């Protein structure tokens, strides 16, 4: 994971914003951790940038801020930190931007993203369930809701307050609210409710259902005549099954990745419908790149 800033002269902005997020730590967890954002925001002083800039104003001449987060990428996997792997674009971003020499992440993907977005410990923002040693007995308790709770200010909100247009593209897996998701209607709350003007995401991970992209509050390319059904407990009759149809898979499954079969790959969870909306695993990286850079 490499946070980068382009160009170099803009580096103080990103560092300052990270500091502002970090300074918003909530301290001991109060009852009702998943408080509405408005209530949490009211308890915090507004950023200096937000106070000085009219609401809705956008930055016209400020440097761009680019934050890249990659799962399963170690420090030694990128050129800016001495890797033998050829990463010319990352090398250029590091050369023209900021290269951190002291940064820390969690070995768990969702925990890292939650902490980066908020500047808080993962348990302070509801993501303690990703510590699997305490998952069972703690699930649902304050700090262990399993989704990003709204008791803090996001770096995306600070950037938007400062006049930036904000975009999120890629893997989310921080939850979309605390209730059942209507995949066939308006998906809300989504990333738009926490400071992103635009978003193009997968709700969870590439190995989970539903295997669809979400643009803002809607599933992309969804045919209303072919609605999406999702279950993490029961298979839908007549749908491919990873355990029963193992010989037909493009790649054999590992434990747990043997439920629904989408694009010849066993997934976590069961899915039916949404045929036209399903992503193509082989072109997923290109799809996200196109959305991110235009």
Active-site residue numbers? 109, 173
Structure tokens at 31: 């009852």
**For residue 103, which phi and psi values (nearest 5 degrees)?**
-145, 155
Chain centroid to Cα 229, Å, comes to 22
> How far apart (Å, rounded) are the C-alpha atoms in residues 195 and 67?
15
> How far apart (Å, rounded) are the C-alpha atoms in residues 82 and 78?
7
Gap between the terminal Cα atoms of the chain: 22
> How far apart (Å, rounded) are the C-alpha atoms in residues 27 and 251?
46
Question: What's the CA angle centered on 233, arms 184 and 277, to 5 degrees?
Answer: 30
> How far apart (Å, rounded) are the C-alpha atoms in residues 169 and 191?
10
Residue 228 in contact with residue 219, Cβ under 8 Å? yes
Residue 270 in contact with residue 230, Cβ under 8 Å? yes
Helices (runs of H) and strands (runs of E) counted in the chain: 8, 10
Residue 48 in contact with residue 23, Cβ under 8 Å? no
């Amino acid at each position: 994971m490499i946070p980068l800033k382009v160009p170099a002269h803009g580096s103080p902005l990103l560092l300052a914003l990270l500091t502002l997020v970090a300074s918003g730590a909530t301290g001991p967890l109060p009852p009702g951790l998943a408080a509405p954002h408005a209530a949490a925001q009211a308890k915090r002083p507004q950023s200096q940038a937000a106070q000085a800039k009219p609401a809705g104003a956008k930055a016209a001449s400020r440097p761009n801020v680019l934050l890249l987060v990659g799962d399963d990428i170690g420090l030694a996997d990128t050129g800016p930190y001495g890797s033998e792997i050829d990463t010319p674009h990352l090398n250029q971003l590091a050369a023209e931007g900021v290269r951190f020499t002291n940064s820390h992440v969690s070995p768990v993907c969702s925990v890292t993203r939650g902490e980066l977005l908020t500047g808080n410990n993962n348990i302070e923002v509801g993501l303690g369930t990703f510590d699997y040693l305490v998952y069972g007995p703690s699930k649902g308790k304050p700090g262990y809701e399993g989704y990003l709770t709204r008791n803090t200010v996001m770096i995306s909100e600070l950037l938007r307050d400062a006049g930036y247009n904000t975009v999120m593209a890629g893997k989310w897996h921080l939850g979309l609210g605390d209730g059942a998701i209507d995949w066939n209607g308006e998906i809300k709350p989504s990333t738009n409710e926490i400071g992103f003007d635009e978003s193009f995401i997968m709700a969870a991970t590439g190995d989970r259902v539903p295997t669809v992209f979400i643009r803002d509050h809607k599933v992309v390319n969804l045919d209303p005549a072919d609605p999406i059904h999702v279950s993490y407990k029961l298979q839908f009759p007549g749908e491919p099954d990873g355990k029963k149809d193992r010989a037909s898979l493009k790649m054999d499954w590992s434990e747990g990745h043997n439920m629904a079969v989408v694009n010849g790959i066993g997934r976590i969870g069961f899915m039916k419908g949404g045929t036209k909306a399903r992503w193509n695993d082989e072109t997923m990286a290109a799809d996200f790149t196109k959305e991110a850079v235009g």
